[in-house]
Amino acid sequence: MHTEPLPDDEPPRSPPPPPPRGRGFDPSALFVVLEGLRRAAPRELQGQLTDLIREFLLTLRSLIDWYLERLDQSRREPEVENIPID
């Protein structure tokens, strides 16, 4: 790879801008994988795997509920105590 030096009168190039932010986490790929695992499991294990996926989703829902409650709480003022200075 051959790069030519920049002429003295040309200012150095700035780095490229960062990539645009995505829309966030998309759980659809996770659900496709979980469904594929459930279908690929032997018939004897499909019920247990379905129960495991159900427990995972319930746990995920609980975490989301907890996080939303935390966001909804108003910010409390920190408790301060007046200490007399002698």
Residue type, 11: P
Question: Which pair of structure tokens corresponds to residue 36?
Answer: 């594929």
* Distance from chain centroid for Cα 7: 45
Three-state DSSP state, 7: coil
Please name the residue ranges forming H helices in 1-86.
28-40, 43-72
Q: What pLDDT, in 10s, does the model give residues 30-45? A: 889 888 988 898 999 9
Choice among 4-8, 33-37, 55-59 with the minimum mean pLDDT: 4-8
Q: How many other C-beta atoms are found inside a 10 Å radius of the C-beta of residue 49?
A: 16
pTM of the model: 0.51
